[in-house]
Structure 1
């Protein structure tokens, strides 16, 4: 494994790289545009059908195929040149959003379009992330990755807020056209601002799905890659169930409206943890703090056994998500452990597994919430996350 440099990288060093600036802009445009599109479609669907369940399905339709795309299409991230792949991906987003903005489609057709775009989302994300180690050597990769995490969270929150504001002045169709405009801008940036670098893998293809499956098995079976993958997936997936049970917990302790504050505190904690681990902590210390930070994702949740009020609950949620900064060191280890020709797929597998695991963790917490008080479910989430950290301690040290 490559030894980390002695001093943390600086933001000016990262943003001095032109291609990184373009990739950063693409990521921000995608997250914000998709957030605006999602909230506009949900409102439009609810207005048409009056069904909360249908609106929720439309809201989640873009995320549902993520695991399928990760299982079948990820080899494209290493086999197609980045400029061509990202241009095509954002062009697909533009076409889907423009068709949705025209309107008049039945709900099944809307969901089919969202699923089609969502299938390629892990490939686009993996392509972007795979370029970072080549652009940002040493500790610059960690800082660049932390910037993506923080900005994605901020762009998602801003995009949803902007979507709500736009819907108060425009129709859902008009809001969707603005989302389409952001996809058009991303397409132009990808085509004309990214360099035409070749694909990293030149191995003969045995078929897209077969290549993806074969490399996924290699990554999950390798001793140097399986540990970082599990270490990145399990503590987060098990602890995130607490966020899925925030609404019933807040309702049981005063007002369900406090759930928004709890979730905002969790987002703020994640932002602060990534900033601290990526920018303020020296690389060698970050490596030493990986296990304690990972355990922090679960430890504060144990205190929900005492039924804390809204203010204390917000503090505990923020403390737990601050620990998510541990993920930066784990991602760095994974990148160092894989050869360049499958780096894109490795990063894509990490992201697909993380999203799938979080969905499963939230669903499991919701199911437990039907049987147990919400505070007890949050304690179980914290205990499960701590147990996974102890089982994976060798990979987190």
Structure 2
């Protein structure tokens, strides 16, 4: 069996001590963020009595991703990854303690979360871009799968634990607990992860490719000088420039859109579960998290690397099909099953794109490329909720979910070239 046909194993993935450090710190990060946003939402509601502001506070952590990805992502390749990740944890510590104990007004708290959130995609990009270095070959894809499963479990666990801490200590105590988790993660990173050099320090910016996928000779020879010039222009200028170059590459652009668009509408459909199911929507949302974990585990571990890639296109199309069944207005059980199937398919097709994306992106800007992909997914899910919400205003919640499923299928069909293996 060839390397391409033999998938990596969890034993191989967790044999890397550096990955275990990333895994542990990532678990603390996701769980802590859930507790933080839950506590912030409760604190805003206690101060204002406004359900709208409370809901806005809970979603506030997702809003800065688009701005941070547009203007700051080059930092992920210009700063040493360990230092960047530790800085992210310390920013979270300070933010939580200020919100909990500094006596800030509600608007000052929200502004603080927005401003510090601008750097979240940078911190996340540094973490994900390090994975291919720690886990070569198919182990990288399985590592991504592990983090996806962990994110789903930590979100559920974080909400459950956060609810208990919130009930026992109040919002300030829950925020202090989040600060403690982030401080612990910073210590784990500092003493468990090697101090890798900044990714962009050894090579120049991306450019057009030769037929064998490499950079042209002129680009390779002058790349280092142009990188120093780009640094002199600042992080914002370099982020905009590299984003423009990445999006100008047809292969990279197609893979980015394939990671963004189908998921946008699947998430938009899920956003309608609360108005569709009312107080029982939590069960269906939990089913979505189960589907996320199940798809990552089954396809990541039990399907061969080439099999995952062949499944990318059909599974992307399949992720929208269960949402079409909402035309028949299923009850809670049926809705939960349909959402579970949609998220299984959605997660499965994304795993099939991971190796292609790593190979398509120039290594010196891998951090920015992964950050752009992640930020686009986060921003797209928020946009999907807005678009499907507008559709629900014009039709009904169940028909809005149907339209989300149709949009998912149409996007997948339109992106079929990016979702299929390139001819050998």
TM-score (norm 1): 0.96
Shift of 1:298: 0.2
Stretches of structure 2 that go unaligned for 5 or more consecutive residues are 202-226
Report deviation, 1:103.
4.3
Deviation at 1:40, TM superposition (A): 1.1
2:384 corresponds to which of 361, 364, 369: 361
Determine the C-alpha separation between the residues in 2 that align with 1:247 and 1:85.
Answer: 37
Q: Is the 8 A contact 2:70 2:239 kept in 1?
A: yes
1:228·1:331 contact (CA, 8 Å) conserved in 2?
Answer: no
Are 1:227 and 2:254 matched, yes or no?
yes
Contact 2:310 2:352 in 1 (8 A): no
Displacement of 1:4: 6.3
Measure the CA separation in 2 of the matches of 1:197 and 1:309. Answer: 52
2:238 maps to: 211
| 2:387 pairs with 1:388 | no
Q: Do the aligned partners of 2:258 and 2:419 also contact (CA within 8 Å) in 1?
A: yes
Contact residue 320 and residue 408 of structure 2 kept, 8 A: yes
Query: How many angstroms apart in 1 are the aligned matches of 2:3 and 2:276?
Result: 42
What is the Cα deviation at residue 257 of structure 1?
2.2
The root-mean-square deviation of aligned C-alpha atoms, in Å, is 1.2
| Cα displacement string for residues 151-182 of structure 1 (whole angstroms, at most 9, x for unaligned residues) | 11211111111111112211221111111100
CA displacement at 1:25 relative to structure 2: 1.2
Deviations 1:217-248 (A, max 9, x none): 11111022011101111111022211111112
User: Is 1:317 matched up with 2:344?
Assistant: no
Ranges in structure 1 where 5+ consecutive residues have no aligned partner = 251-255
Deviates most, 197-206 or 67-76: 197-206
Q: Is the 8 A contact 2:35 2:161 kept in 1?
A: yes
Aligned pairs (5 A) from 1:227-306: 227-250=254-277, 256-306=278-328
Instruction: Output one character per residue of 1:122-162: Cα deviation in whole Å (capped at 9) or x when no partner.
Output: 01110000010111111101100011111112111111111
Aligned residues: 390
Distance 1:210 1:390 in 2: 35
Aligned counterparts, 1:73-84, within 5 A: 73-84=72-83
Structure 1 counterpart of 2:36: 37
Structure 1: which 4+ aligned runs deviate by more than 4 Å? Answer: none
In 2, the alpha carbon distance for the partners of 1:116 and 1:373 equals: 36
Aligned CA distance change for structure 1 residues 296 and 4 (closer, same or farther; 3 Å): farther
Question: Aligned to 1:321, what secondary structure does the other structure show?
Answer: helix
